[in-house]
Structure 1
């Protein structure tokens, strides 16, 4: 029997950086989320799937200015800036004014695995944009996070986005279940 075409896959890690993940306000379930993201990096490497990492930056002089200490990826994150596609962004959508779409096209990526933070901003925007660009986004339900807000706790935000994005915008998976 003929096996259907399986698209080439890549991992995108969003904003796991010093000023957000390791700042004074810690993200929800941060230890587990980081462990899950690093497990995804290991799985991607074993499958020879590309790994990309976005860093959110602000204007020059801001705490997240490009090249600032707070804009740097978390040292515990298993991303290698010499090997992986690391890029800066200034908007929630990882595709806006960045090289990401070109890199994915060049690598013939059809399925984009998404993890990182903040759930309700950059993760949400990037999931929706990826689908609009014709990619098959997969959101890893236990590998994205955010902080509590005055209106809603972080656990509820994550659960809400998993439920809202699943189906129309992404395929939902878990770290343990996803295979590159």
Structure 2
């Protein structure tokens, strides 16, 4: 099985905005470790950023739209792309690129759990890929209805099995 790492919406404005992501530093450390492991094993790294409408904090080209520098992504070796909807496959060439590269297993990490992580896991499964949700490498913020920890736990339970295989970052082997 050929694998890839998909990093979703780890953007300056989402990660460092007024609403802080739950357990953000641990999340970032886990993703950085997965990036190092992927590079060591020559596993392709895909990183997507959400593009908001003109005038929004994450409009294309704005400082908040940029991917976190701490990820040390490299546009010459990593595949960086943009999306306008929560599903990273919608109106992008992600599925075609994965198929062209013979990739069928997709390790999914990033933000926000209840939007882009959820949508992308479900879409990956529907498109015939084998999504692997890294249970301790995705996050979101507290909402008026639920704390972030409950959202993350709920989505791990909901997505695990039916839509994705769950694994912790320490157990990932590409």
TM class, shorter-chain normalised? over 0.9
Q: How many residues align?
A: 174
2:4 corresponding residue in structure 1? 10
8 Å CA contact retained: 1:22, 1:74? no
CA distance in 1, matches of 2:17, 2:65: 11
1:46 corresponding residue in structure 2? 40
What is the 5 A alignment of 1:1-150? 7-150=1-144
SS at match of 2:5: strand
CA distance in 2, matches of 1:150, 1:61: 25
Deviations 1:60-107 (A, max 9, x none): 232211111111001111321221111110000000011211111111
- The gaps in structure 1 that reach 5 residues or longer are 1-6
Deviations 1:16-70 (A, max 9, x none): 0011011111100000000000111111111111000010011223221111111
Rg larger for? 1
With structure 1 as the length reference, what TM-score do the two structures score? Answer: 0.95
1:171 aligns with 2:148: no
SS at match of 1:139: strand
CA distance in 2, matches of 1:153, 1:62: 25
CA RMSD of aligned residues (A): 0.8
CA distance in 2, matches of 1:56, 1:110: 23
Which is helix-richer, 1 or 2?
Answer: 2
- The gaps in structure 2 that reach 5 residues or longer are none
CA distance in 1, matches of 2:104, 2:51: 27
TM-superposed deviation, 1:13: 0.3
